[in-house]
């Protein structure tokens, strides 16, 4: 399911590049690497949740932790469709909306899916999500800066 959703930002970015007639190298960098890096970041978040969960009296189900991370990341993939619109302002704000939405879904599911205690569990999920958010925002802004430098 997640690979189908990961195609949405790829298609949006590819169509946006064709609409702007940007160089093929920028298309390769942006349309191909961005979804791949995002999948890697989400997988890393899931693996980290699976590793931390048993240490704070949660379940040791690593598969459920990865599934939770991927399901919580659904807004990022859905908002990727908007990359068809060639607007740097939109490309800057939508990742923040998507990441906030992901954090909300992750917080909702962490207690039920991973059996995390409400006190320590939410702190651990918050810290891991903050690291994920920092990496995601740096990734999106570095790619955006690279693309804008060539315009």
Q: pLDDT tens digit string along 92-116?
A: 788 778 888 888 888 888 888 888 8
In terms of DSSP H, where are the helices of the chain? 2-20, 24-27, 34-52, 62-72, 74-79, 88-114, 118-149
- Whole-model pTM: value is 0.76
DSSP per-residue letters across 61-92:
-HHHHHHHHHHHTHHHHHHGGGGGS--HHHHH
Distances (CA, A) of 1 to 34, 58, 138: 18, 26, 26
At 94 the pLDDT is 80
Q: Residues 116-127: what's their mean pLDDT? A: 83
pLDDT tens, 31-69?
677 778 878 888 988 898 888 888 888 888 889 989 898
């Amino acid at each position: 399911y997640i690979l189908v959703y990961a195609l949405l930002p790829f298609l949006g970015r590819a169509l946006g590049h064709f609409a702007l007639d940007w160089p093929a190298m920028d298309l390769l960098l942006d349309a191909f690497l961005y979804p791949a890096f995002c999948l890697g970041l989400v997988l890393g978040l899931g693996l980290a949740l699976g590793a931390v969960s048993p240490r704070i009296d949660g379940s040791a189900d690593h598969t459920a932790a990865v599934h939770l991370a991927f399901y919580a990341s659904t807004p990022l993939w859905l908002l990727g469709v908007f990359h068809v619109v060639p607007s740097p302002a939109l490309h800057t704000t939508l990742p923040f909306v998507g990441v906030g939405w992901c954090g909300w879904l992750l917080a909702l599911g962490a207690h039920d899916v991973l059996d995390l205690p409400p006190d320590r569990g939410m702190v651990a999920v918050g810290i891991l999500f903050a690291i994920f958010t920092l990496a995601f925002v740096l990734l999106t802004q570095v790619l955006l800066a690279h693309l804008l430098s060539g315009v």
